[in-house]
Chains A and B, each alone.
Chain A
Amino acid sequence: MSETILNVEGLTVDIPLGSGTLHAVRGIDFALKRGETLCIVGESGSGKSLTSLAVMGLLGKRIQVGAAKLEFEGRDLRSLTPRQMQALRGDRMAMIFQEPMTSLNPAYTIGDQLCEALQLHRRVSKAEAMAQAADLLGKVGITAAESRLQQYPHQLSGGLRQRVMIAMALMCEPDLIIADEPTTALDVTIQAQILRLLADLKREMNLALILVTHDLGVVARIADKVAVMYAGEIVESGTAKAIFDAPSHPYTRGLLDCIPVPGKTKPGEPLGSIPGIVPSLVGDVAGCAFRSRCALANDACSETIPKRTASGEHMYRCVHETLISEVA
């Protein structure tokens, strides 16, 4: 149960642009054990999707990925050849994407695409692969699986397609699934179903799950651990309970203020919002990237920001040590 699946230290993603280098992910650390769900939270452009693509090795050649440590099941991903990485992808680690409507190939049947995921990694016959595909479609809650296998993506609704994507990720029984905003493009009612499905599957198959999202409501329902990303850094991380009970970084507090709480938020009362926009990450970024939007900002925020421990695993990056007591 306590086996570490993924261990990331000092992960950076740099995108060369004409006008300089965009430091999209700036040295982040996280680790994940079997059976755990890590939610990476942040707004658009915080680097959360790039982080997941970097772990999968799916970023283009133009984009530079660096890390002090990038270990998956004890293997150093940095030392693997592209072919070895390809063998891991879809087999030991799988990914689910944000857009179910466009993430399936329109030219092939659901069955063909599910089978391909298995046959790329295992020597199995088409019939065996089809049987496995039908079995998994049933598991992700698709009825009449046999006839669905013969259908094409355009004949399925968005919710069904996302279930197919999940089934495809499960074909090789991976140890790690990375889901990048899997419910963003879906109706609210379908969102809840898909989340419950992911949580159930994770428990049943005892796998590690990374869920990338901007929706704290999702996080509250499913996360064991949370990492809050802002401008390419993890500004706060810890167990879901710690983050929700004692948010220590001003940005996390801002995020939490943005969602209504039943019984606490009064009708007509405006929800919180964070003024300003995410700063540009082109060139060198010094100090706290959030300081331009932070109510607590002072001169110290331009200096090097210490990594503080609130309690146990609960870490945050802020110069303001007294924040927790202020809240309480």
Chain B
Amino acid sequence: MLAFALKRLGLAVLVTFTVSVISFSLLHLSGDPAAAIAGENATAADIAAINRQFGFDRPLTVQYTDWLWKALHGDFGESYYFKMPVADLISDRLSITMLLGVCSISFALLTAVPLGVAAAVRPNSLIDRTALFLSVAGQAMPSFWFGLIMIVVFSIKFRLLPPSGSETWRHFIMPTVVLGYYAMPAIMRLTRAGMLEVLNADYIRTARAKGAGAGRVLFKHALRNAIVPVVSLSAVQMGFMLGGSIVVEAIFALHGAGYLAWESISRHDLPTVQALILIFSCFYILFTLLSDLANAWLDPRIRVG
């Protein structure tokens, strides 16, 4: 297990390095950064001055190592637009997005896995059909529409929940449900399909022949094997949520990192964009790593050769 974990960790570091190179070079490939900062009426002398000030006249490798070294120490430079350190800007926003992401994936898993298991235990039953209906509805309904309906019902009609902001936990209920419901259908369907397959496996019959009860067969013998692909999918969904929460953040006026990414891209705020790409990627890599480790713990065929 340790060897497996170290191997995966090494791979994760390599991927992170690659991502850092890409996110650094993308912005230099998207045009002359100095010209972008200087604006349309700048003279050649202004641009040269900016080049010197920001160090754009140095070789790219030097600029990269300088940028990476500072990034590793939490210094992502200063935002061109907000005129404050990018690190401070992001850390405020990121905690909101992270909180929303963790709540949403928890909501998705806590509803999708029990529903998927129940649906697989009784195929074509009422509960299976209900689960199917919920997942089709979740897949068909756009987040922005569902979010607006939630606001109309729970904030305007019944006045139960605040429609916008991020001050208290009650502000996070609707965004969590909307974003979590977006991830739920795929997880539910995969759990159901996995359980259906595993419940027909020979080793389930063996467990019953040993005299194991229904609950033990279901949760000890079946779910552990069926959940492996679900763990991988959840990591991917969690990654999507980080980026994809932008719609939900906009509807509920949660000023999170997704919203910040949209703002900084549209304003050519290069240091912020670079930092966000790097941080989002690192989180994505981290989730993948965690899901790989979780699966290795669940399934010995992954960790023992």
> Is B211 a contact partner of A89 (Cβ separation < 8 A)?
yes
B300 at the interface (CB under 8 A from A): yes
> Is A99 a contact partner of B202 (Cβ separation < 8 A)?
yes
Interface string of A80-91 (1 = CB under 8 A from B): 000100111111
For A102, list chain B residues within 8 Å (CB). 201-203
> Is B201 a contact partner of A86 (Cβ separation < 8 A)?
no
> Is A56 a contact partner of B209 (Cβ separation < 8 A)?
yes
Q: How far is the CA of A104 from the CA of B207 in the complex (A)?
A: 9
Interface string of A180-199 (1 = CB under 8 A from B): 00000000000000000000
> Is A165 a contact partner of B206 (Cβ separation < 8 A)?
yes
Within 8 Å by CB of A89, from B203, B210, B298, lies B210
> Is B300 a contact partner of A152 (Cβ separation < 8 A)?
yes
Task: Output the least CB separation between B209 and chain A (Å).
Answer: 4
Give the residue name and chain of the A residue nearest to B223 (CB).
Answer: A107
> Is A116 a contact partner of B212 (Cβ separation < 8 A)?
yes
B23 at the interface (CB under 8 A from A): no
Task: Output the least CB separation between B247 and chain A (Å).
Answer: 38
A221 at the interface (CB under 8 A from B): no
For B206, list chain A residues within 8 Å (CB). 97, 103-105, 165, 168
Within 8 Å by CB of A105, from B203, B211, B213, lies B203
Task: Output the least CB separation between A132 and chain B (Å).
Answer: 14
> Is A120 a contact partner of B300 (Cβ separation < 8 A)?
no
For A152, list chain B residues within 8 Å (CB). 300-301, 304
Task: Output the least CB separation between B163 and chain A (Å).
Answer: 46
Give residues 143-193 of A contacting B (CB, 8 Å): 152, 154-155, 165, 168
Task: Output the least CB separation between A153 and chain B (Å).
Answer: 8
A227 at the interface (CB under 8 A from B): no
For B205, list chain A residues within 8 Å (CB). 58, 97, 103
Give the residue name and chain of the B residue nearest to A53 (CB).
Answer: B205
For A155, list chain B residues within 8 Å (CB). 304
For A120, list chain B residues within 8 Å (CB). 210-212
Task: Output the least CB separation between B212 and chain A (Å).
Answer: 6
A95 at the interface (CB under 8 A from B): yes
> Is A58 a contact partner of B203 (Cβ separation < 8 A)?
no
For B8, list chain A residues within 8 Å (CB). none
Task: Output the least CB separation between B253 and chain A (Å).
Answer: 45
Q: How far is the CA of A116 from the CA of B216 in the complex (A)?
A: 11
For B213, list chain A residues within 8 Å (CB). 83, 86
Q: How far is the CA of A83 from the CA of B214 in the complex (A)?
A: 10
For B159, list chain A residues within 8 Å (CB). none
For A89, list chain B residues within 8 Å (CB). 208-211
* A102-B201, A154-B301 known; A107+B225 contact, CB < 8 A: yes
Give the residue name and chain of the B residue nearest to A112 (CB).
Answer: B220
For A70, list chain B residues within 8 Å (CB). none
For B32, list chain A residues within 8 Å (CB). none
Residue among A83, A87, A152 having the largest count of chain B Cβ atoms under 10 Å: A152
A6 at the interface (CB under 8 A from B): no
For B211, list chain A residues within 8 Å (CB). 86-91, 117, 120-121
> Which 9 pairs between the two chains have the least Cβ-Cβ distance?
A90-B211, A90-B210, A102-B202, A89-B211, A105-B203, A152-B300, A95-B209, A103-B202, A117-B210
Q: Using a CB–CB distance below 8 Å, which chain B residues touch chain A?
A: 201-203, 205-213, 221, 224-225, 298-301, 304
Extra contacts besides A89-B209, A152-B301 (20): CB < 8 Å? A58-B209, A83-B213, A86-B211, A91-B211, A94-B210, A97-B205, A97-B206, A97-B209, A99-B202, A102-B203, A103-B203, A103-B206, A105-B206, A105-B207, A106-B225, A106-B301, A116-B210, A121-B211, A154-B301, A165-B206
